[in-house]
């Protein structure tokens, strides 16, 4: 579903991604871990072309995004992204937050957008909050609205960039539970996270990045439970 080949990304003189090769199969959940500044966000942002790679190829759901002929807007609709900051529209209700892109981007009717929004708000446990405004919700609830908004677009893959890092500790669990249920339903997911217990439990594969390269990857039990690389060990000894 996602295929990244020899991906390089530089910002000026700074080479942030230095040759990334990664595949994520349909229904697979891959967690990306690594120290701050190792290029995790840049990698995710290259997967939906929020950043333009310097070189290399990215293929999502059979479409090469890095092909200059590619209709990037069409592909991006197939890729849901959830950020650390939820980025909800503060002046719109929960329902409107989840319907606006469906209407403007997918040109769905008001009725269809609302039906899809309600179904996805139900999916994240917020069916009773349709009329609330973001400021009336906890951070965890806002993040679940952001997830519902992404799901309402019918994505083939979901990218999560530290979705729980901005949340108070007691709110993290609800968001992880929603992500776990998506994984169980077979959603293809790439998740940058510091939640090692989530990675251990939910990820099919864990990728450890450092200095713009993948240093180690494999099943969670191996990479987190018994890392072979010294840099992975050092990182895990700090976060576990």
Contact indicator for 34, 210 with CB cutoff of 8 Å: yes
By CB under 6 A, residue 42 contacts ligand ADP = yes
Among the listed residues 38, 120, 141, 193, the single contact to ligand ADP using CB under 6 A: 38
Smallest CA-to-CA distance from 61 within 47, 50, 51, 46 is with 47
Any contact of residue 144 with ligand ADP (CB under 6 A)? Answer: no
Q: If binding is defined by CB under 6 A, does position 238 make contact with ligand ADP?
A: no
SS3 173: helix
Comparison of 38 and 99: residue with beta carbon closer to ligand ADP: 38
Q: Is 164 in the site for Mg ion (CB under 5 A)?
A: no
The answer to whether the beta carbons of residues 9 and 31 sit under 8 Å apart is no
Q: How many residues bind Mg ion (CB under 5 A)?
A: 2
Nearer to Mg ion (CB atom), residue 45 or residue 205:
45
16 belongs to the binding site for ligand ADP (CB under 6 A):
yes
Q: Which region, judged by CB under 5 A, interacts with Mg ion, from 32-40, 75-83, 97-105, 168-176? A: 32-40
Q: Give strand ranges (E) for the chain.
A: 2-11, 14-24, 29-33, 55-60, 63-64, 79-82, 157-161, 188-192, 205-210, 213-218
Q: How far apart are CA 160 and CA 44, in angstroms?
A: 8
Q: Which of 17, 34, 39, 41 binds Mg ion (CB under 5 A)?
A: 41
66 binds Mg ion (CB under 5 A): no
Question: Which residues in this chain contact Mg ion in the complex, by CB under 5 A?
Answer: 40-41
């Amino acid at each position: 579903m996602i295929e990244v080949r020899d991906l390089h990304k530089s910002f000026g003189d700074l080479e942030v991604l230095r040759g990334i090769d990664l595949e994520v199969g349909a229904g697979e959940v891959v967690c990306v871990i690594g120290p701050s500044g190792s290029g995790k966000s840049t990698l995710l942002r290259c997967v939906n072309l929020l950043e333009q790679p310097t070189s290399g190829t990215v293929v999502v759901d059979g479409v090469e995004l890095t092909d200059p002929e590619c209709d990037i807007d069409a592909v991006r609709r197939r890729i849901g992204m959830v950020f650390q900051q939820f980025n909800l529209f503060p002046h719109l209700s929960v329902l409107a937050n989840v319907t606006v892109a469906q209407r403007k981007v997918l040109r769905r009717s008001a009725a269809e957008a609302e039906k899809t929004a309600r179904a996805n708000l139900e999916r994240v446990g917020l069916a009773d909050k349709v009329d609330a405004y973001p400021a009336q919700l906890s951070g965890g609830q806002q993040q679940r609205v952001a997830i519902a908004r992404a799901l309402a677009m019918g994505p083939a893959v979901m990218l999560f960039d530290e979705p729980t890092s901005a949340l108070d500790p007691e709110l993290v669990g609800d968001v992880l539970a929603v992500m776990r249920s998506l994984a169980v339903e077979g959603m293809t997911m790439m998740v940058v996270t510091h939640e090692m217990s989530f990675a251990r439990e939910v990820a099919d594969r864990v990728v450890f990045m450092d200095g713009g390269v993948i240093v180690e990857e494999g099943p969670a039990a191996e990479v987190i439970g018994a890392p072979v690389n010294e840099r992975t060990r050092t990182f895990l000894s700090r976060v576990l």
